[in-house]
Structure formats: structure tokens, C-alpha cells
Structure 1
Amino acid sequence: MELDFAKLSRPERYKLLVSTVVPRPIALVTTVSKDGIVNSAPFSFFNAMSSEPPLVVLGLEVTDYSPRKDTGDNIRDTGEFVVSLVSEAIAPHMNLCAMDFPAEEDEMDSAGLTAVPGVKVNVPYIKESPVSFECKRMTTMEVGTGNRIVVGEVVYMHIDDACFDAEKMYVDAPMLKLIGRMHGGGWYTTTAGMFNMPRIAYADWAVERKRP
């Protein structure tokens, strides 16, 4: 099957992308409005894109069933946000944050999550998350009809001591027990089913290829 995206509707393109680009990491994004109201919302159009400078990217998608604009507006107004990664333990809390709360209501508090003041940004991170990144907005691109792509620089990180060896700078990734977003209808996945496949050096591969 061949599909020309120029001939598809927006919902059709969205469905195809989110059903095939899987699994996607989930950013539970915390922001603060100009009036000091804390907002927490999950986004799976998210990933790390650079280590120098250390950058993360958020895709703030506006759809008919998710018209949320608070996150993008708050980042635009303050230039700051926090990305907390979602573990199996806080998945139900993240799901509550996905609801369309009134703009004046604190989703983090309503979802039973604990806000801890940021160190380098005036935005709280989530205590229950195993990893949180404090970020400063580098740039925002307005794309499509109401969508935004936000590039943020990571300026500070919080990580569960039990999952991190500071001397070796080693993260025990399986111990984080993070989840990822799958296709529509509320499907998620865990990181339990992993396999190891070391990268092969070209020189070694070339030698093996020549063997009889």
C-alpha cells in the first residue's frame, strides 16, 4: 500500500503517524502560567535531540479531542518548563493529567502528584517521577493550524538515586521502569521486553564478510 500524505485528511495523517512511530517516550510536562497556576500535561510527541547542547523537543499537537493550549502558552510566556518521564508507578496519575482540566485547576495536585520547586527554573518537577529535566526554551516553531514544536535546553536533571551510579555516571535504565506510548485507544508499553544487539565495527564486519 502506498499513501500520499497530501491526499489524506489531518485525522488520517495523525492516525498513521501515531500507529507506526512506536513506542514513543512520554513527557509529562510541567509549566507555570503568568498568574502562577501550575499546569501538567502529557505529550508523546517528544524526544531527546542533541547532547551538545542538551536539547529535548516537544510536539504540542492540537486536535479536536485535545484542544489544550496551556502548555504552549505558558512556555511562550515564561520560557521555562520541566519534563518528567513516566514510570509504570505513575502511569495512572499521568493519565489523569491528560484530562481537560479547567485552566485554573492544578492537574498535578488533582492527580495526586507532588510538586517540588525547580532548582534552575521557576517550575516544579514531579517528585514521583524517576527522571525530570528542567528546561529553558530555545525556540518555538508554529506549524500547521495551532501546533507548536518547542525546542528546550536541559539545564538541570533530577534522577532517582536508586537508578544512578554517580561515580560511573551510569543509569540503570531498566530500573527506571519507564513506559512508552503505542497506538491509539489508550495503548502503552513497558521497557521490560528488551534485547541486546551491540553495534558492529565496519572493519570487523568486512573481515567476516570475506570469510569462506
Structure 2
Amino acid sequence: MFFDFATLPAQTMYNLLTASVTPRPIAWVTTRSNAGVSNAAPYSFFNVMGHQPPTVALGMMRHTRGSLKDTAANIMENGEFVVNLVPERLISQMNQTCADYAPDVDELEQAGLVALPSKQVKPARIQGCPVSLECVSIASVVTGPLQTIVIGRVVAAHVDDALVLDAEQGFLNTPELGLVSRMHGGGWYARSTDLFQVARPATAELKS
């Protein structure tokens, strides 16, 4: 079936994209307002965009009333954020931070999470996340009246010691991170437990 996005309602386009582009990694983003209030919110419009420099991108929706949500507002104010990767054991707490709290509410506290200090940015990390990426915003692109893409440079990473296989080369025990990813529809997630490997072909092996 052919879908002409120029003719579709916004919700239909959202449903098509989120039902087909899966699984999506989740950035559990922590920020801090200029008033010192901590914020945490999960975003599945997220991925790594390169490594020279190390770059991530976040797709951030606005409130339907048009104002920026707390995460985006905090990043625009001070340019700093932390991407915490979500293990299955913290899925309930992550889901709690989806709630629409007022800007002066500490969402880490509301979800019963423990904040850990970062090294190079002010926003806290989340205890229990196997990987946390400290980031500074390098650009923001308004792609529509209700959405903005934030591009951030990763300035530091925190990784659980038990999951580091080779620190010099940056090799991790990825399956043991136990991360979850976002799937289709309301409340659907996936585990990364059913894995398979396909070797990349060498040029000499390609058929002419």
C-alpha cells in the first residue's frame, strides 16, 4: 500500500513511522534547569550519528500547546545533557518519568532514582544504567512547529566496570548490558536477547 505523507494526519504518520522503524534505542535523557531542578525523560527518536566527533541526535516533540518540554527547554538553556541507556531492570522507573510533571518537580526523585554526579556536565547520571554519555549540544534544528532535533557531542562516557572487556579498544560485553528498545504502539518494548551474526564480506569474496 502506498502512503502519501502530504495527505495524512500527523497521528497516522506517527503510527506508520513508529510501527515500522523498530527497534529504536532509548535515550533516557537527564538535564538540569538553570534553577537546579533535575529532569529525566525517555526518547526513542534517538541514535548515534558518528564518532569523529562522537555525536548523538535526539528528536524532541513539543507539548501540544506549543511550548518546549522540560528536557528540550533545559538543553536550550544551558546546552548540557546526559544520555543514560535503559536496562530492563529499570523499565518501571523509566516509564514513571514519562509522566508530565511540572518543570519544578525533580523527576529522578519522583521515580525513586539515585542521581550520580557527572564529570564534565552539570546534569546527573542515573544509578543502575550500564552506560551514561555526557553530552553538550552543538546544534538544534527546528524541523516543524512541534519538533526540534538536538545534536550533541559526547564528551565522556561512564560504563559499568563489569561490562568492559577491553578498555583500550572500547570493547564492551554488549549482550550483558541488558538494554531494552522501543517497539510499536503504546507501551511495547523489546529485549536484545535473540542475536545472530553475519560476517561482512571482504572485497575479494564479492561476485563480479
The 5-angstrom pairing of residues 141-160 of structure 1 reads 141-160=141-160
Count of aligned pairs: 207
SS at match of 2:193: coil
The alpha-carbon deviation at position 120 of structure 1 amounts to 0.3
Partner of 2:90: 90
Partner of 1:205: 206
CA distance in 1, matches of 2:189, 2:68: 21
Change beyond 3 A, Cα 1:22–1:50? same
The 5-angstrom pairing of residues 48-197 of structure 1 reads 48-62=48-62, 64=64, 69-165=69-165, 166-197=167-198
Find runs of 4+ consecutive structure 1 residues off by over 4 angstroms. 63-68
CA distance in 2, matches of 1:66, 1:24: 25
Aligned identity (percent) is 43
Computing the radius of gyration over CA atoms, which structure comes out larger, 1 or 2? 1
The alpha-carbon deviation at position 66 of structure 1 amounts to 11
SS at match of 1:14: helix
CA distance in 1, matches of 2:111, 2:67: 20
The alpha-carbon deviation at position 107 of structure 1 amounts to 0.9
CA distance in 2, matches of 1:68, 1:112: 25
CA distance in 2, matches of 1:65, 1:163: 43
Aligned alpha-carbon RMSD (Å): 1.7
CA contact (8 A) 1:85 1:131 kept: yes
Deviations along 1:118-143, whole A, 9 cap, x unmatched? 10001111111000000000000112
TM-score of the two chains, using structure 2 as the length reference: 0.95
Change beyond 3 A, Cα 1:52–1:179? same
List alignment gaps of at least 5 residues for structure 1.
none
29-38 or 56-65, larger mean C-alpha shift? 56-65
Establish whether residue 45 from structure 1 lines up as the match of residue 45 from structure 2. Answer: yes
The alpha-carbon deviation at position 156 of structure 1 amounts to 0.6
